Structure 1
Amino acid sequence: MNILKNLILGAGVTLLFSACGSDDDLPEVINEEETITTVKLNFTEAGSSETKTVVWTENKIDAITLKADTNYQVSIQFLDESDPNAVNNITEEVIAEKDEHLVYFNSTVKGLSIKSAANDVIDSNGVAINIITTWQSPVTIESGIVTAFLIHEPLTKVGTERNDFGGETDIEVSFDVKVE
């Protein structure tokens, strides 16, 4: 009987000490970063139903060619194609975590306007995250670079330069752009 008492008492003391442990003993929740191997920009010219896709991968970067003085609706996709038999559409996760993400475009193309589209994804604060944008090309022949940033946990979603937003850059990709 003494053995049974000692086992019960020992179990109770162990339970008491484990229940009173500090929060520091809890495992850290890790939001594992996704692998992004491919970024696609899907361009649809205003008044057209035809979509042209421009692709960035580590091995291939398409150039963007725009008609002068033309409006485009552009959607961006983030994919993990490291296993061609199991492509993971990271864009779905970005949309699901819209409060924690922002896509920012930086352009060196003189006169190119890139703005959130009316049908863009909106976060819980009413801010568009730039998954769907409208691009207005300049009226003159121009060239330059457009860089797309996927920002994780931006400190703000208002700014005119990448550094204005804070947060972590999940991926940064650049495309050569020609306006003809």
Structure 2
Amino acid sequence: MKKGIHKLLSIIFIVSILASCSDDDDNPIVINEEETITTVKLSVTESGTTTTQEFEWTESSQDDITLKANTSYNIKIQFLDESNPNDVEDITEEVIAEKDEHFVFYETTVGGLTFDNASDDTVDANNVGINISTDWSAGDAATGVIRAFLIHEPTSKTGDSRADFGGETDIEVDFNVTVQ
């Protein structure tokens, strides 16, 4: 009987050693840790001029944007992690580096305000602009809100509402806008 128990224990010991030596460690799980975004900046340049205004959204405040009626603008968006003022990280660089996995979408309640890709926008592998640089055209006087979304891994890069793009929202920010 002792020989049988020793044999059984030996087999269990060998099986447990072999099981613990599996090759699962050869394929570690990749964790794509989301970046912290504390600040979104818009650089707004009136077309045909060098006049640029900076507007900023933070977790505690937002600037209101004023645009001229019937005027076009080039807008550059920037995403920052300013949680450590001594080590500000420009998340926009990562968004551009991972351009196939990101898209910026704008929606607005401002009547007559339209958005298009700018000629200097970053494009993905399918030659689709990701809206880091956009051209806005303001119509007649109006007020409302512009909402900017940074979308991670969109399933589509075309649409009219946030739901059309799929993926996850990395950040969503609102700016109050007056066109006068």
Report whether the alignment pairs 1:150 with 2:150: yes
CA positional deviation for 1:130: 0.2
CA positional deviation for 1:99: 0.2
Report whether the alignment pairs 1:87 with 2:80: no
* Cα distance in structure 1, aligned partners of 2:25 and 2:107: 41
Report whether the alignment pairs 1:176 with 2:176: yes
* Cα distance in structure 1, aligned partners of 2:169 and 2:127: 22
CA positional deviation for 1:27: 2.9
CA positional deviation for 1:28: 1.3
Q: Which structure has the larger Rg over C-alpha atoms?
A: 2
Q: Which moved more, 1:43-52 or 1:166-175?
A: 43-52
TM-score by length of 2: 0.87
Gaps of 5+ in 2: 1-16
Q: Which deviations, in whole Å up to 9, do the C-alpha atoms of 1:24-70 show, x marking residues without a partner?
A: 88431101100000000000001111210000001110001000000
Q: Which residue of 2 aligns with 1:162?
A: 162
SS at the partner of 2:30? coil
* Cα distance in structure 2, aligned partners of 1:17 and 1:26: 16
Q: Which deviations, in whole Å up to 9, do the C-alpha atoms of 1:137-157 show, x marking residues without a partner?
A: 01x210010000000000111
Q: Which residue of 1 aligns with 2:49?
A: 48
Gaps of 5+ in 1: 1-13
Q: Which residue of 1 aligns with 2:29?
A: 28
Q: Which deviations, in whole Å up to 9, do the C-alpha atoms of 1:100-142 show, x marking residues without a partner?
A: 000000011111011110110000011000000000001x210
Count of equivalent residues: 166
User: What's the % identity of the aligned pairs?
Assistant: 58
Aligned residue runs from structure 1 range 92-171, under 5 A: 92-138=93-139, 140-171=140-171
* Cα distance in structure 1, aligned partners of 2:155 and 2:60: 32
Q: Which residue of 1 aligns with 2:71?
A: 70
Q: Which deviations, in whole Å up to 9, do the C-alpha atoms of 1:66-120 show, x marking residues without a partner?
A: 0000000000000000000100000000000000000000011111011110110
